[in-house]
Structure 1
């Protein structure tokens, strides 16, 4: 037991190494750009002021989005999706898979669950002892189930999911802008140092490395950013891109695809003025999502929407569910 705790403690410490590396590179880039380039190399006051103004705007937005990506806790399923004491006791005592499947099916009738396992059973997490909401997956690193899990990112030491996916996208966006601005403004002085027109040896070292590091990070971020932009337009997570969600009618990689505009709104919200700020504006509460067709509304597992509201009336998340029109589920009588 003590050995296991020691291993987990070391694992948590080492998991911060990628974040420390990124932070160190960014802090060095700040010193190299602000001091070595702008204050010690540039002679034109107007050019110096313009560079510093735009640079600090990009720097602040980068740090803000990076902070939010790291320290926003992953959203986990609410109490409604956990097995009650009696249901858990019945489930644990039962050894026959078919009967266990039937128990989970009974519990799921009160919940808005549409996705299944490959065998058609209710998705259940043995470690968290809960029924998984649609698009929810268990993260072995965070040791918890995460709503609309996309992936676990070592560079932010956090799970990217419903609670912080917008922040992660903005982090990629402002990281690219930060690199592009540095590369574009440093390029002229990079050529001058390379050709020997500027004699400052210390500044030359920083400017040369600034150029190479900015281009290297930009190229790596460009592919990752482009991939996630494609995911947003298709309303898929990284996990869903590799393994299509399974519905009552079978696997459907476009099951949550609502069209380009509505897919964007699902992630960024209705207020466009807040799209580029790292404040939470995503629609819904992460427990269920509107689907491409209403054919899934016939899923007998949903049972009765009124029963779902009544059973969860005391939960803090119920008002959010009732207010959000994008997650209304139509039940056919």
Structure 2
């Protein structure tokens, strides 16, 4: 037991290494750009002020979005999706798999769940003892079920899901802007150092490596950002792109795709002025998502709307029901 605790502790410590690496590179880039380039290399005061102003805007937005992506806790299923004491006891007492499956099916009828496991059974997490909402998956690193889980990212040491997906996308975009700005402003001085128009010194080393590092990170980020833009446009998570969600009528990769405009609003919200600011504006609460094609007669949520509302549904939940009705 003590050994297991020690291993988990070591794992937590080592999981911060990628974050420390990124933070160290960014802090070095700040020193190299502000002091070695702007204060040591630049002689034009107007150019220096302009560079410093724009650089600090990019730097602040990068740090803000990175901080939010790291320290925003993953959203987990609400109590409605946890088994009650009596249901849990009934489920654990039953040894037959088919009977356990039937128990979960009966409980799920009271919940707005549309997806199923590959076997067609209700998706249930034995470790968290929770019926999984649509698009929810268990993260073995975070050791919890995460709403609309996309993936676990070592570079932010956090699960990317419903609560911080917008922050993760903004982190990627502001990282690219940060790299592009550094590369574009450093390039002319890189050439001057390279051909010998500027004297050798510590600044030369920093300026040369600034360009290489900025371009290297930009290329890697460009592919990752492009992939996630495609995912947002299709309203898929990384997990759903590799394994299509299974509905009552079978697997469907486009099951949650409700059109480009509505897909964007699900992640970034209705107010476009807040799209590029790292504040939470995503629609809903991560438990319920509009479906692309859903007939009312096949809608288990609408068929059990009365039961669900009788079990303590709030005004917000009623609004979600209406939202799903319109989506269908």
Match of 1:204, SS state, is helix
Q: Which runs of 5+ in 1 are unaligned?
A: none
Could you tell me which residue of structure 2 aligns to residue 158 of structure 1? 158
Note the C-alpha offset of 1:118.
Answer: 1.1
Q: Deviations over 1:121-149 (max 9, x none)?
A: 00000000010000000000000000000
CA contact (8 A) 2:152 2:159 kept: yes
Paired residue for 1:278?
278
Who is 1:290 aligned against?
A: 290
What is aligned with 1:24?
24
Q: Which residue matches 1:61?
A: 61
Partner of 1:240: 240
1:149 aligns with 2:149: yes
Residue in structure 1 matched with residue 197 of structure 2 by the alignment:
197
TM-score by length of 2: 0.97
Map 1:256-275; keep pairs closer than 5 Å.
256-275=256-275
2:130: which partner in 1?
130
Structure 1 segment 1-333 matched on structure 2, within 5 A: 1-295=1-295, 298-300=298-300, 303-313=303-313, 318-323=314-319, 327-329=323-325
Q: CA deviation at 1:300?
A: 3.9
Retained in 1: the 8 A contact 2:288–2:320? no
Q: Is 1:190–1:211's contact at 8 Å kept on the other side of the alignment?
A: yes
- C-alpha change, 1:304 and 1:102, in structure 2 (3 Å) is same
In structure 1, distance between residues paired with 2:244 and 2:327: 25
**1:297–1:273 Cα change, 3 Å:** farther
The one-character-per-residue Cα deviations of 1:102-131 (angstroms, maximum 9, x if unpaired) are 000110011000000111100000000010
Instruction: Work out the CA distance in 2 between the residues paired with 1:5 and 1:319.
Output: 43
- C-alpha separation in 2, matches of 1:160 and 1:296: 32
Aligned partners of 1:206, 1:320: CA distance in 2, in Å?
Answer: 54
Alpha-carbon shift at residue 76 of structure 1 (Å):
0.1
* Offset from partner CA, 1:79-105 (integer Å, 9 cap, x none): 000001111111111111110000001
Secondary structure in structure 2 of the residue aligned to 1:328: helix
Query: 1:325 deviation in Å?
Result: 7.8
Contact kept? 1:74, 1:162, Cα under 8 Å: yes
Q: Measured at CA, do residues 214 and 320 of structure 1 come closer, stay the same or move farther in structure 2, by a change above 3 Å?
A: farther
> How many residues are treated as equivalent by the alignment?
328
Query: CA distance change for structure 1 residues 304 and 165 in 2, over 3 Å: closer, same or farther?
Result: same
Going from structure 1 to structure 2, the CA distance change for 1:137 and 1:296 (only over 3 Å counts) comes to farther
* Counterpart-to-counterpart distance in 2, 1:26 and 1:18: 12
Distance between the aligned counterparts of 2:247 and 2:92, measured in 1? 26
Q: Which sits farther off after the overlay, 233-242 or 289-298? A: 289-298
Where does structure 2 lack aligned partners over 5 or more consecutive residues?
none
Q: Give the whole-Å Cα distance in 2 for the aligned partners of 1:53 and 1:304.
A: 57
Q: Is the 8 A contact 1:304 1:331 kept in 2?
A: no
